Amino acid sequence: MTQYDEAHHITDYLAAGARGLIRLDSSEQEILRALCAVRAGHAHIAPEVASRLVNFVLGRLPPVGHVQVARLRDLTGREREVFRLVAAGMSNSEVAQGLNLSEKTVKFHVSNILFKLDLRTRVQAVLVARLAAATAGEY
């Protein structure tokens, strides 16, 4: 229980091993929900605390935007094919089957794509694809 819900306090608590975070002014029901969740091995973060944590994390992610869209031209033809399928939500296995490649080759291409676009996750790749489609009409 905390009276502090600033992001730096929240991350300190989590780093120290907290599995649940609720505010001091939480209702009895909220306290019981948190205790039951943590006792069952789950994490529990009150919505107002979680909201601050999400905003903090989003603020620390590298920006995804027009710079990455401009870098799409640096992808090889095969990387563009893989990128389109990944952006459509396909797994590595599905991409491999669709392009008649090994899954290892697809993983290699995905890794190259993320590196060339300076992205960390497939989710960011999807965001870049959507931005590219919205601004240029295709990618």
73 & 55 share domain = no
Report the chain's mean pLDDT, rounded to a whole number. Answer: 85
Task: Say if residue 44 is in the same domain as residue 97.
Answer: no
> Residue 135: what residue type?
T
Instruction: Indicate which CATH number applies to the domain containing 105.
Output: 1.10.10.10
- Would the pLDDT of 129 be above 70? yes
On whether both 78 and 53 belong to a single domain, the answer is: no
pLDDT tens digit sequence for 10-36 = 888 888 888 888 888 889 998 999 999
**104 and 85 within one domain:** yes
Write out the two tokens for 35.
């205790």
The predicted pLDDT at position 135 comes to 72
Alpha carbon distance 101, 31 (integer Å): 52
User: Domain check: are 90 and 131 in the same one?
Assistant: yes
Of 59, 78, 99, the residue that ends a domain is 59
- Residue 62: pLDDT band by 50, 70, 90 thresholds? low
- Predicted TM-score (pTM) of the model is 0.53
The reply to whether 76 and 130 lie within a common domain is yes
HSE of 59, CA atoms in CB hemisphere, 13 A: 8
According to the model, what pLDDT value does residue 11 have? 81
**Which pLDDT does position 107 carry in this prediction?**
96
Name the domain boundary from 33, 59, 85. Answer: 59
Two tokens, residue 51 = 């909201």
Interval 113-138 mean pLDDT:
83
Specify whether 80 is located in the same domain as 115. Answer: yes
Question: Looking at the DSSP assignment, which residues form a beta bridge with residue 13?
Answer: none
Q: How many domains does the chain have?
A: 2
CB 30 within 8 A of CB 46: yes
Locate 76 and state its tokens: 């090889």
Is the model's pLDDT at 116 over the cut of 60?
Answer: yes
Residue 2 lies in a domain: no
Range of the domain at 103: 66-136
* Judgement on whether residues 54 and 81 belong to the same structural domain of the protein: no
pLDDT bin (cut points 50, 70, 90) of residue 68 is confident
Q: What is the pLDDT of residue 78?
A: 96
Q: Indicate whether 1 belongs to any domain.
A: no
